[in-house]
């Protein structure tokens, strides 16, 4: 099996030993504590689950700046984005060196992790501006990732953490949320050796489904991991339970047995385009995938990024040898009326736009809201029905 990034064994920060977990949970209740941001909580969940291996905790400002500017930490190790715990102030914890981090996304703000503080630093406006520009490629406050990153506060708490739970993800998505440890174990149990991962924050239409089949066939993969984001999205995105149901129905009906896993991870979407594509590849290697599909405008939003920037970043900016996982580069896929099948548009040079079945997201939402199923060349009818039921329920 492919090695995790930066180590030969996965090193999740979740405390699995029950005695240690019980003792830490008890200790945490008496520690000074602070409610952290949703982004910082997502970082803790990802470290706990092993996806951010081999990080031991939140980055210092120097490490965060290194990650932003050149994807390299001060010790020379690779990481593509800052992993920070930014807070408004330290009034709740004073000068404590060991604290409890509380979850902002669950009622009662339960303890998410215990942290040993190595440094408390103020991030300057210039440093925030550099990190924002390098990671998101824009300073536009209308960009949802930029807004979320810059609204957390300017005080950075850094140091190692021990994670005690996975926030709401395990309870809300018991059949879907999986740690990198669990996915690696299941890959081994299934006997897969070459695995391609597919990232999604949306339901999968026919073109997505066929892209996965295409990647598996061309790469000779024996397994596909459909890995959906379960954390916070932008307004208007389809909720995770609806996406989950639609994707599971598609896999049940249109993939051979033991060829695809439907899983999810607990993290808020950054909408950081190319940088987020590298982060996605990073944690897919940690979960055991050997290949990762990156298509047109991967992890993008609006018109902030070029159509294939998320592919070229691997050639132009990612340090050589930083990742073992291989990228499967995909163009936009759509149903060809000429060929009566889904194709990559770049592989059909004799086609005009009119030769493809193309529907905008706005048009599809309108149809679903009116109880009209998109054409079968765009969406499987069983998937469309689940989505129509959802849109009808929110009218």
> Catalytic: which of 190, 202, 248, 365?
202
Contact by Cβ (8 Å): 21, 88: no
Tell me which residue has tokens 């809300």. Answer: 172
Is position 365 annotated as part of the catalytic site? Answer: no
**Vertex 257: Cα angle to 231 and 291 (nearest 5):** 55
Hey, CA dihedral for 147, 148, 152, 157, is it positive or negative? negative
Expressed in angstroms, the distance from the first to the final Cα of the chain is 47
Q: Tell me which DSSP letter residue 157 carries.
A: E
Short-list 376, 124, 364, CA closest to 236: 364
Quote the distance between the C-alpha of residue 386 and its chain's center: 24
Is position 201 annotated as part of the catalytic site? Answer: yes
> How many other β-carbons are positioned within 10 Å of the β-carbon of residue 346?
12
**Vertex 146: Cα angle to 142 and 147 (nearest 5):** 65
Contact by Cβ (8 Å): 243, 200: yes
What residues are paired with 294 via a beta bridge? 329
> How many other β-carbons are positioned within 10 Å of the β-carbon of residue 91?
8
> Catalytic: which of 154, 190, 201, 248?
201
d(CA 178, CA 15): 16
Tokens of 394: 């929110």
Residue numbers annotated as active site = 201-202
């Amino acid at each position: 099996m492919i090695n995790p990034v930066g180590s030969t064994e996965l090193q999740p920060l979740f405390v699995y030993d029950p005695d240690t977990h019980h003792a830490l949970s008890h200790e945490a209740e008496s520690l000074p504590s602070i409610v952290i941001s949703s982004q910082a909580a997502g970082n803790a969940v990802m470290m706990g689950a092993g996806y951010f291996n081999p990080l031991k905790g939140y980055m210092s400002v120097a490490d965060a700046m290194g990650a932003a500017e050149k994807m390299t930490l001060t010790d020379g190790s690779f990481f593509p984005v800052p992993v920070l715990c930014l807070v408004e102030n330290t009034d709740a914890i004073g000068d404590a060196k060991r604290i409890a981090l509380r979850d902002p996304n669950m009622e009662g703000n339960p303890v998410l992790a215990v942290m040993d503080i190595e440094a408390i630093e103020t991030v300057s406006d210039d440093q925030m501006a550099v990190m924002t520009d390098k990671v998101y490629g824009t300073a536009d406050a209308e960009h949802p990732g930029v807004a979320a990153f810059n609204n957390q506060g300017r005080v950075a708490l850094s140091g190692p953490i021990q994670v005690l739970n996975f926030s709401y993800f395990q309870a809300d998505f018991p059949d879907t949320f999986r740690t990198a440890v669990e996915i690696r174990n299941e890959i081994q149990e299934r006997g897969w050796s070459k695995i391609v991962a597919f990232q999604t924050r949306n339901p999968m239409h026919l073109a997505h489904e066929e892209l996965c089949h295409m990647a598996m066939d061309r790469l000779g993969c024996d397994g596909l991991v459909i890995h959906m984001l379960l954390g916070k999205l932008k307004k208007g995105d389809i909720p995770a339970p609806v996406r989950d149901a639609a994707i599971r129905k598609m896999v049940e009906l249109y993939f051979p047995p033991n060829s695809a896993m439907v899983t999810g991870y607990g993290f808020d979407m950054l909408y950081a385009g190319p940088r987020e594509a590298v982060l996605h590849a990073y944690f897919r290697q940690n979960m055991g995938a050997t290949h990762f599909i990156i298509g047109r405008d991967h992890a993008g939003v609006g018109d902030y990024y070029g159509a294939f920037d998320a592919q070229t970043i691997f050639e132009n900016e990612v340090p050589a040898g930083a990742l073992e996982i291989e990228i499967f580069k995909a163009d936009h896929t759509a149903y060809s009326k000429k060929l009566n099948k889904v194709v990559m548009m770049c592989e059909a040079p004799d086609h005009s736009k009119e030769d493809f079945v193309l529907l905008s997201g706005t048009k599809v939402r309108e149809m679903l809201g009116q109880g009209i199923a998109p054409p079968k060349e765009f969406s499987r009818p069983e998937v469309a029905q689940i989505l129509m039921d959802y849109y009808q329920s929110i009218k």
